């Protein structure tokens, strides 16, 4: 009886594998695909762009507002490869920005709050010792590096690329590492207070100090306004630290809300991105640049739909700056991988109307939300350039690190 059962089982297994091979012939070429991907073209430059907390519905709402239902796509939608990624962290179905960006930066799963640093025993030390991040690997190859964001530049999304610390709350320590340890060439965003603090303003790591003075000593042009940024770039600065607000930058919707005032001397994300490219492109070895539209996430946390639309469109304008830069010269197009990847979705934003009519350009679609927090939804990956075909798949967020590492020449 047992023998019969065993034979039946082995027969059904054989049938199962036969059926599998018949119906899924592509599986037999898996090994071939892996070998092929080793031969994938190499990129001299990688531009990694993060619309923080952006789900696909955010894209739809912004597109409808800008161009209507049958209008043009957003710039980010014109990229040729599309895939998607799982976002869970090492200890949570719902990731935070720190763990998600650490996964991209270091290729491993981290616990929420960790900045490219495992601290399982919670003693504040990184154990085991951290692996080099993709930005640090780019530096090892002689490339220039940059971080651009509309939050404090020491916030949880840019930080894991250029710092290792057990918690995202150590923003002074992150600032210190950017300047004293990693020496990121281009640092543009908000958060001046994180770069200059007294003992009474120490972060939870106990770090404080004047890292702006250190930056000047290390040859950085330190700027606080759009004009001084532009001047520093045209004078040929090779290192720049631009801190345009005490904490996060002024929200984008302040430009259009008549009740608000947007400081005239504060650069936009697009202007910071253009400045970063102008500096970084001078490095003959190439560059690695992170650009974050940080406040799409904040808008979604607060269910502030107008803020969301303005931040999404402002991020998309920065995408246009990048695409225009790439398309200016055929060699840039051949040698630059651009990736646009949200770290997670925030708010569970959905479009619930209008029903029975089409929203027109300038109209807001009707909004619905499921949460004031992050969600565990998978998020998209748009990409173009050498190696981008490998990102047009269902991936884990850690896979993006491996692909960037393979592709970076």
Q: CB of 245: closest distance to Zn ion in angstroms?
A: 19
Does residue 207 contact residue 172 with C-beta atoms inside 8 Å? yes
Q: Single out the segment in contact with Zn ion by CB under 5 A; choices: 1-9, 62-70, 291-299, 383-391.
A: 291-299
Does residue 314 contact residue 293 with C-beta atoms inside 8 Å? yes
φ and ψ of 366, to 5 deg? -80, 135
Task: Write down the H helix ranges in 225-304.
Answer: 226-234, 269-280, 295-301
Q: Is 297 in the site for Zn ion (CB under 5 A)?
A: yes
The residue among 45 and 151 lying less far from Zn ion, judged by its C-beta, is 151
The residue among 182 and 397 lying less far from Zn ion, judged by its C-beta, is 397
Q: Single out the segment in contact with Zn ion by CB under 5 A; choices: 169-177, 281-289, 294-302, 394-402.
A: 294-302
Burial class (CB in 10 A: 0-12, 13-18, 19+), 85: buried
Q: Single out the segment in contact with Zn ion by CB under 5 A; choices: 15-23, 170-178, 261-269, 295-303.
A: 295-303
The residue among 157 and 335 lying less far from Zn ion, judged by its C-beta, is 157
Q: CB of 96: closest distance to Zn ion in angstroms?
A: 7
The residue among 190 and 386 lying less far from Zn ion, judged by its C-beta, is 190
Using Cβ positions, the residue closest to Zn ion within the complex turns out to be: 97
Residues 6+ apart with CB under 8 A from 69: 358, 359
Does residue 118 contact residue 95 with C-beta atoms inside 8 Å? no
Q: CB of 59: closest distance to Zn ion in angstroms?
A: 16
Q: CB of 377: closest distance to Zn ion in angstroms?
A: 13
Distinct helix (H) and strand (E) counts, the chain: 14, 16
Out of 343, 345, 378, 384, the residue judged to bind Zn ion by CB under 5 A:
343
The residue among 211 and 349 lying less far from Zn ion, judged by its C-beta, is 349
Q: Is 292 in the site for Zn ion (CB under 5 A)?
A: no
Cα distances (Å, whole numbers) of residue 205 to 124, 173, 248: 8, 7, 21
Name which of residues 1 to 20 contact Zn ion (CB under 5 A). none
Residues near Zn ion (CB under 5 A), total: 5
Name which of residues 25 to 64 contact Zn ion (CB under 5 A). 52-53
Residues that are catalytic = 97
Q: CB of 170: closest distance to Zn ion in angstroms?
A: 17
Cα distances (Å, whole numbers) of residue 219 to 48, 195, 288, 379: 25, 16, 20, 39
Q: Single out the segment in contact with Zn ion by CB under 5 A; choices: 84-92, 133-141, 298-306, 340-348.
A: 340-348
The residue among 159 and 179 lying less far from Zn ion, judged by its C-beta, is 159
Nearest CA to 94 among 348, 313, 295? 348
Cα distances (Å, whole numbers) of residue 239 to 224, 232, 348: 14, 9, 39
Q: Single out the segment in contact with Zn ion by CB under 5 A; choices: 70-78, 263-271, 326-334, 343-351.
A: 343-351
Does residue 289 contact residue 281 with C-beta atoms inside 8 Å? no
Nearest CA to 43 among 391, 342, 395? 391
Q: Is 23 helix (H, G, I), strand (E, B) or coil?
A: helix
Q: Is 345 in the site for Zn ion (CB under 5 A)?
A: no
Q: CB of 147: closest distance to Zn ion in angstroms?
A: 15
Nearest CA to 224 among 238, 210, 214, 212? 212
Q: Single out the segment in contact with Zn ion by CB under 5 A; choices: 81-89, 206-214, 290-298, 299-307.
A: 290-298
The residue among 84 and 364 lying less far from Zn ion, judged by its C-beta, is 84
Integer Cα distance of 331 and 343 in angstroms: 30
Cα-to-chain-centroid distance, residue 364 = 26
Name which of residues 360 to 389 contact Zn ion (CB under 5 A). none
Name which of residues 69 to 128 contact Zn ion (CB under 5 A). 97
Longest dimension (CA), the chain: 87
Nearest CA to 287 among 389, 186, 398, 177? 186
Q: CB of 153: closest distance to Zn ion in angstroms?
A: 15
Interior/surface letters 307-344, b for 16+ CB within 10 angstroms, e for the rest: bbbbbbbbbbbbbebbbebbeeeeebeebbbbbbbbbb
The residue among 51 and 209 lying less far from Zn ion, judged by its C-beta, is 51
Interacting residues with Zn ion (CB under 5 A) = 52-53, 97, 297, 343
């Amino acid at each position: 009886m047992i023998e019969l059962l065993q034979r039946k089982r082995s027969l059904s297994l054989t049938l199962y594998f036969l059926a599998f091979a018949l119906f899924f012939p592509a599986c037999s070429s898996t090994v071939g695909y892996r070998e092929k991907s080793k031969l994938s073209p190499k990129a001299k430059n990688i531009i990694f762009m993060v619309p923080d907390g952006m789900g696909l519905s955010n894209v739809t709402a912004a597109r409808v507002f800008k161009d209507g239902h049958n209008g043009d796509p957003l710039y980010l939608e014109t990229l040729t490869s599309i895939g998607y990624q799982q976002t869970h962290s090492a200890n949570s179905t719902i990731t935070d920005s720190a763990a998600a960006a650490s996964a991209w930066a270091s290729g491993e799963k981290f616990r929420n709050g960790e900045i490219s640093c495992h601290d399982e025993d919670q003693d504040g030390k990184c154990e085991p010792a951290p692996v080099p991040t993709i930005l640090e690997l780019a530096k090892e190859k002689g490339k220039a590096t940059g971080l651009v964001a509309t939050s404090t530049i020491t916030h949880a999304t840019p930080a894991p690329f250029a710092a290792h610390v057990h918690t995202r709350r150590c923003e002074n320590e992150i600032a210190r590492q950017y300047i004293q340890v990693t020496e990121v060439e281009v640092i543009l965003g908000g958060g001046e207070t994180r770069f200059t603090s007294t003992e009474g303003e120490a972060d939870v790591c106990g770090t404080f100090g004047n890292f702006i003075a250190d930056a000047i000593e290390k040859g950085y042009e330190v700027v606080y306004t759009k004009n001084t940024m532009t001047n520093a770039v045209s004078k040929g600065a090779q290192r720049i630290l631009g801190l345009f607000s005490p904490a996060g930058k002024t929200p984008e919707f302040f430009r259009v809300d008549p009740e608000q005032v947007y400081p005239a001397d504060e650069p936009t994300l697009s202007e910071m991105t253009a400045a970063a490219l102008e500096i970084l492109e001078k490095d003959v070895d190439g560059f690695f640049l992170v650009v974050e539209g940080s406040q799409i996430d904040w808008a979604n946390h607060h269910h502030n739909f107008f803020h969301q639309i303005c931040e999404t469109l402002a991020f998309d304008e920065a995408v246009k700056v990048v695409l225009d830069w790439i398309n200016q010269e055929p060699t840039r197009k051949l040698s630059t991988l651009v990736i646009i990847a949200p770290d997670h979705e925030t708010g569970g934003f959905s479009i619930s109307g209008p029903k029975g009519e089409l929203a027109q350009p300038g109209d807001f679609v009707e909004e619905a939300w499921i949460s004031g927090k992050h969600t565990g939804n998978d998020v998209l990956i748009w990409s173009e350039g050498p190696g981008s075909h490998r990102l047009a798949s269902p991936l884990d967020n850690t896979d993006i690190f491996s692909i960037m590492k393979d592709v970076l020449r």
